[in-house]
């Protein structure tokens, strides 16, 4: 495909926004997560909509922000993760709200930052993924099928499998949800149904399946959570509920489940973690518990909302 501006992919389907704002999708479509109005798989890209600024491919549901700031959702809706007030799957995009600047999605829940800096959450909440108790009348529930406001002054968000992070405008990092492997970074393995502060001076954060990465304003990279295959990059395979320093001079980092990547200021790309299928790109299939250099001359893509 030519003229691609941004992409987002889950393990079973992919999406791309072209420079003209058109959104294209392909891959698995069992729950309508491609958004083409069907549940038919597509091995070649199909056009979904126009005037799209950014897209986020969740586990089996997708979110897109259009250029006018409106948020649209489609796919699986069993836990209300579309945010349209129902639990009905939708193979076509449905409008959720206006004035949205960024989005992120976990296994069965979604988050959005509005242009005023307020953070809104919806979907599954069985272990605190939404960061607050949800109620219908006087009955406590495990989900919310409509967006509910969680906090203000939010600059960035990242959703893991069943947990979430938010960086506030003052650089403080907050976490909530599943903490079974210490992935919240609050020095405990206690699940949190409300946000807890993890650290200050944070520039960016990435939540994986059960491990987490954060880049601080001084360029240091920190990791915590699950570490079975060396995902923390600290030379061990022991989980850590407290952030551990990995390296210096980092400008961006991402964890995609059990593989971690970091881009340094000299434009070198480093990888560590699971490598049974050659995921690290270092010419082996051996896991690495320390960062290994993969490429030079790597540049960040142009910044797009919600990414």
Domain spans in the chain, listed from the N-terminal domain onward: 1-107, 153-307
Query: Would you say 181 and 225 are in contact if contact means Cβ atoms under 8 Å apart?
Result: yes
Question: Can you give the pTM of this predicted structure?
Answer: 0.94
> What is the CATH T-level fold of the domain 1-107, as seen in this structure?
Methylamine Dehydrogenase; Chain H (2.130.10)
Q: 61 and 105 in contact (C-beta within 8 Å)?
A: yes
What is the tens place of the pLDDT at every residue in 199-258?
999 999 999 999 999 999 999 999 999 999 999 999 999 999 999 999 999 999 999 778
pLDDT score for 307: 40
Retrieve residue 114's tokens.
């509005």
H or E segment and range at residue 5: strand 4-9
pLDDT grade, residue 124 (50/70/90)?
Answer: very high
Which of 11-25, 59-73, 97-111, 129-143 is predicted least confidently? 129-143
Structure confidence by residue, pLDDT tens digits, 252-307:
999 977 899 999 999 999 999 999 999 999 999 999 999 999 999 998 866 544 44
190's CB contacts (< 8 A; 6+ apart) are: 179
Rounded to the nearest 5°, which phi and psi values hold at 187? 70, 20
Enter the tokens of residue 22: 């058109």
User: For position 134, what pLDDT does the model report?
Assistant: 80
The predicted pLDDT at position 302 comes to 62
Which CATH architecture is the domain 153-307 placed in? 7 Propeller (2.130)
133 pLDDT tier (thresholds 50, 70, 90)? confident
Of 205 and 9, which is predicted with more confidence?
A: 205
> Would you give the DSSP letter of residue 303?
P
Q: Which residues contact 283 (CB under 8 A, 6 or more apart)?
A: none
**Distance of alpha carbon 177 from alpha carbon 141, whole angstroms:** 15
Residue 117 pLDDT > 70: yes
Q: What is the pLDDT of residue 306?
A: 41
Q: pLDDT for 154-199, tens place per residue?
A: 999 999 999 999 999 999 999 999 999 999 999 999 999 999 999 9
Same fold, 1-107 and 153-307: yes
The pLDDT tens digits for 55-112 are 999 999 999 999 999 999 999 999 999 999 999 999 999 999 999 999 999 999 999 9
CB 276 within 8 A of CB 285: yes
């Amino acid at each position: 495909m030519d003229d691609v501006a941004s992409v987002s992919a889950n393990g079973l389907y992919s999406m791309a926004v072209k420079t003209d704002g058109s959104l294209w999708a392909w891959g698995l479509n069992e729950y309508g997560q491609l958004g083409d109005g069907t549940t038919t798989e597509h091995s070649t890209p199909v056009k979904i909509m126009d005037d799209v600024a950014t897209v986020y491919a969740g586990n089996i549901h997708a979110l897109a922000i259009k250029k006018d700031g409106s948020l649209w959702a489609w796919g699986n809706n069993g836990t209300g993760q579309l945010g349209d007030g129902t639990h009905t799957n939708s193979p076509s995009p449905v409008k959720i709200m206006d004035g949205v600047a960024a989005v992120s999605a976990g296994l069965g829940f979604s988050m959005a930052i509005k242009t005023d800096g307020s953070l809104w959450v919806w979907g599954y909440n069985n272990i605190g993924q939404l960061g607050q108790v949800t109620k219908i009348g006087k009955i406590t529930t495990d989900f919310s099928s409509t967006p509910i406001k969680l906090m203000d002054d939010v600059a960035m968000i990242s959703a893991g499998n069943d947990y979430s992070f938010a960086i506030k405008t003052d650089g403080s990092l907050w976490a909530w949800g599943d903490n079974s492997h210490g992935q919240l970074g609050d020095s405990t393995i206690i699940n949190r149904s409300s946000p807890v502060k993890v650290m200050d001076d944070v520039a960016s954060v990435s939540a994986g399946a059960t491990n987490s990465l954060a880049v601080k304003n001084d360029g240091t990279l920190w990791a915590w959570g699950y570490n079975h295959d060396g995902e923390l990059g600290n030379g061990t395979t022991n989980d850590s509920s407290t952030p551990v320093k990995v390296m210096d001079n980092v400008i961006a980092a991402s964890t995609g489940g059990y593989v971690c990547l970091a881009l340094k200021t000299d434009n070198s790309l480093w990888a560590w973690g699971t490598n049974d299928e050659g995921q690290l790109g270092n010419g082996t299939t051996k896991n690495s518990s320390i960062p290994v250099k993969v490429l030079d001359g790597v540049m960040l893509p142009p910044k797009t909302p919600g990414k």
